[in-house]
């Protein structure tokens, strides 16, 4: 049975809300077929949807009645607004070039019954009719193909917003997310900016080791409850995180505070000084050491039914390194890794991972402490650590504090120069040594290099997987940078054996090459 959604006696505000919600899930290749008589409101809905997707509530959106096709470019996808009313023959519709447009655009078609062959498999049929009251519409939305799941999700989101008194006139805008199943939208409630986190429960992937999927072995968060738990723990330590305003963990929906737009990466692109921001983030990590393993375990004990924060154990470190032979090796070499090369890889990492897991310096490790997940908030004033907002921390575990420091100072998305890395590393260890007389800088230096090598190895595999499995090509351009960081890490004298494996199988020329799609 196709998924349907009926809105009886919908006001113009409700029509706009429907358009904004549809816009959140719209993809290139989708067809939206708008059915209804003249004056039923097809153009009104199309105009609201186009404005929502292009992000301009006041944009001029002319009717395509005479032009037949109006196209729009948006950062996320293109749109083509089509009106077939004046066509006398379906063959004329085939000359509009919609098949080519569909490769990069979503197609909105008014009077689709005049050219049914244009309707794609991933489609919403939206039927509009005049309602009983003046200026009201009867709307029925019926899904086909992949829209069945998406439309069902939009109904859940709409119900969640209603339950939390988000008024229909409140605009909802798509917000670019990350390389994950999570999606985001920006809205406001009583003048307060909020973020809608849309994270539907995910099925486990295939078992890959000891009957468990990758996500379980790597201890990846499985739902919104993990985000809330970590947020509250970080907040209790004086760190800046989004407030939790509403949560439905069973459905995977949250309303959280909006920390703004000053993400580190975009700030650097706009000309802000990298070292100033990274220094503030380094000071934040010094402050985060106050949330040590004992404190996390005590927090877990008081969580009740909430999500607890686990241990970054050997199994997690190990399964993450295997992303390189599993995904990056075949991408670069065009064949699966040999048994001998795989055995040598595992052996080279074994002693390193054993030593990492034997280190007793443990705190909360956010695991993705880098530019996409850090916001610069100098307007807050006070200590530098008070000017850094944290997001995307739901995968946090109890781990070594060097992991987050090397994640920051060897940022996967942009270049951190070696001299800046050295200065901020020194800033961190100097501050920690002043606070903690027993701090062992030699052990920390090893952990920094070893965990940097582990993380950069993992990232090479992740970026290869994002291309091969998910079709996300833009991550490949970062690979030469990851190799530069990895070379810095492998230069540590205690990682000589490990470095030998990389030197043998990935010589300099191969490291510098960006894989071709």
What are the chain's domains?
4-170 (3.40.50.300), 195-511 (3.90.1200.10)
User: What tokens appear for 57 in the block?
Assistant: 């509530």
Q: 359-374, pLDDT tens digit by residue?
A: 988 999 999 999 999 9
What angle do the packed helices 441-468 and 314-321 form, to 10 degrees? 50
Mean pLDDT of 499-516: 89
| Res. 469 pLDDT band, cuts 50 70 90 | confident
Full-model pTM: 0.91
Q: 339-362, pLDDT tens digit by residue?
A: 999 999 999 999 999 999 999 889
Q: Quick one: which of 101, 147, 156, 106 has its CA closest to 124?
A: 147
| Res. 517 pLDDT band, cuts 50 70 90 | low
Helix (H, G, I), strand (E, B) or coil at 137: strand
The rounded distance, in Å, linking the Cα atoms of 462 and 270 is 27
Q: From the CA atom positions of the chain, what is the Rg in Å?
A: 26
Q: Which residue has the higher pLDDT, 110 or 349?
A: 349
- Give the pLDDT score at 429: 98
The rounded distance, in Å, linking the Cα atoms of 165 and 97 is 44
| Res. 485 pLDDT band, cuts 50 70 90 | very high
Q: Which residue has the higher pLDDT, 160 or 203?
A: 160
- Give the pLDDT score at 180: 67
Q: Is the pLDDT of residue 400 over 90?
A: yes
| Res. 270 pLDDT band, cuts 50 70 90 | very high
Mean pLDDT of 458-463: 96
The rounded distance, in Å, linking the Cα atoms of 67 and 28 is 22
The rounded distance, in Å, linking the Cα atoms of 246 and 257 is 10
Q: 145-158, pLDDT tens digit by residue?
A: 999 999 999 999 99
- Give the pLDDT score at 181: 79
Tell me phi and psi for residue 363, to 5 degrees.
Answer: -150, -170
Percent of the chain beyond pLDDT 90? Answer: 63
Edge to edge, the sheet with strand 253-257 lists 173-175, 183-189, 192-198, 253-257, 244-248
Q: 423-449, pLDDT tens digit by residue?
A: 999 999 999 999 999 999 999 999 999
Q: Which range (134-143, 187-196, 200-209, 306-315) has the least confidence?
A: 200-209
Q: Is the pLDDT of residue 327 over 70?
A: yes
Find which of 114-118, 212-216, 305-309, 419-423 is predicted with most confidence, using mean pLDDT: 419-423
DSSP 328: I
Q: 166-196, pLDDT tens digit by residue?
A: 988 899 999 886 656 789 999 988 888 999 9
Q: Determine how many CB atoms are found less than 10 A away from the CB of residue 156.
A: 15
* Mean pLDDT estimate for the chain: 91
Q: Is the pLDDT of residue 88 over 80?
A: no
Mean pLDDT of 443-466: 97
| Res. 299 pLDDT band, cuts 50 70 90 | confident
- Give the pLDDT score at 99: 73
Q: 201-251, pLDDT tens digit by residue?
A: 888 888 888 889 988 999 999 899 999 999 999 999 999 999 999 999 999
- Give the pLDDT score at 178: 63
Q: Is the pLDDT of residue 306 over 80?
A: no
User: What tokens appear for 190 in the block?
Assistant: 């009583």
- Give the pLDDT score at 498: 97
- Give the pLDDT score at 408: 98
Q: 379-395, pLDDT tens digit by residue?
A: 988 887 789 999 999 99
Q: Which residue has the higher pLDDT, 33 or 114?
A: 33
| Res. 464 pLDDT band, cuts 50 70 90 | very high
- Give the pLDDT score at 113: 86
The rounded distance, in Å, linking the Cα atoms of 216 and 497 is 30
- Give the pLDDT score at 101: 76
- Give the pLDDT score at 305: 65
User: What tokens appear for 388 in the block?
Assistant: 């850094």
Helix (H, G, I), strand (E, B) or coil at 261: coil
Assign 3-class secondary structure to 173-241: EEECCCCCCCEEEEEEECCEEEEEEECCCCCCCCEEECCEEHHHHCCCCCCHHHHHHHHHHHHHCCCEC
């Amino acid at each position: 049975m196709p998924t349907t959604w009926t809105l009886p006696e919908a006001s113009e505000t409700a029509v706009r809300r429907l358009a904004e919600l549809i816009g959140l899930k719209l993809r290139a290749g989708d067809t939206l077929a708008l059915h209804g008589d003249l004056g039923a409101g097809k153009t009104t809905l199309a105009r609201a949807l186009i404005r929502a997707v292009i992000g301009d509530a006041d944009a001029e959106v002319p009717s395509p009645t005479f032009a037949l096709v109006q196209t729009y470019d948006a950062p996320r996808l293109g749109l083509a607004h089509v009106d077939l009313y004046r066509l006398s023959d379906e063959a004329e519709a085939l000359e509009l070039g919609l098949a080519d447009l569909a490769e990069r655009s979503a197609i909105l078609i008014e009077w689709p019954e005049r050219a049914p062959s244009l309707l794609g498999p991933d489609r919403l049929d939206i039927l509009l009719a005049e309602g009983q009251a003046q200026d009201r519409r009867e709307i029925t939305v019926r899904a086909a193909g992949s829209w069945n799941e998406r439309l069902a999700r939009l109904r859940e989101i709409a119900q969640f917003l209603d339950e939390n008194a988000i008024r229909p006139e409140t605009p909802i805008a798509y917000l670019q997310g990350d390389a994950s199943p999570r999606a985001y939208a920006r809205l406001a409630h009583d003048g307060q900016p909020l973020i809608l986190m849309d994270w539907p429960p995910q099925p486990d992937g295939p078992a890959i080791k000891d009957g468990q999927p990758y996500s379980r072995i790597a201890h990846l968060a499985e739902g919104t409850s993990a985000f809330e738990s970590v947020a509250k723990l970080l907040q209790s330590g004086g760190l800046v995180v989004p407030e939790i305003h509403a949560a439905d963990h069973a459905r995977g929906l949250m309303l959280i505070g909006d920390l703004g737009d000053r993400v580190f990466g975009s700030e650097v692109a706009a000309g802000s000084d990298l070292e100033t921001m990274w220094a503030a983030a380094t000071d934040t990590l010094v402050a985060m050491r106050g949330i040590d393993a004992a404190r996390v375990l005590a927090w877990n004990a008081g969580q009740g039914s909430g999500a607890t924060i686990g241990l970054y154990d050997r199994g997690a470190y190990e399964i993450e390194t295997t992303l390189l032979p599993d995904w990056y090796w075949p991408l670069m070499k065009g064949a699966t890794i040999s048994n001998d090369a795989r055995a040598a890889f595992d052996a080279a990492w074994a002693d390193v991972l054993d030593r990492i897991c034997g280190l007793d310096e443990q705190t909360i490790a956010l695991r993705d402490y880098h530019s996409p997940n850090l916001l610069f908030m100098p307007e807050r004033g006070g200590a530098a650590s008070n000017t850094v907002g944290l997001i995307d921390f739901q995968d946090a575990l109890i781990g070594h504090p060097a992991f987050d420091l090397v994640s920051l100072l060897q940022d996967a998305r942009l270049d951190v120069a070696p001299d800046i890395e050295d200065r901020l590393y020194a800033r961190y260890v100097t501050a920690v040594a002043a606070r903690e007389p027993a701090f062992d800088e030699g052990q920390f230096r090893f952990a920094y290099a070893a965990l940097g090598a582990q993380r950069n190895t993992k990232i090479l595999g992740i970026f290869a997987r994002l291309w091969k499995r998910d079709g996300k090509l833009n991550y490949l351009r970062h690979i030469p940078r990851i190799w530069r960081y990895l070379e810095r890490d492998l230069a540590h004298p205690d990682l000589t054996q490990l470095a030998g494996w990389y030197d043998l199988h990935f010589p300099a020329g191969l490291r510098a090459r960006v894989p071709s799609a």
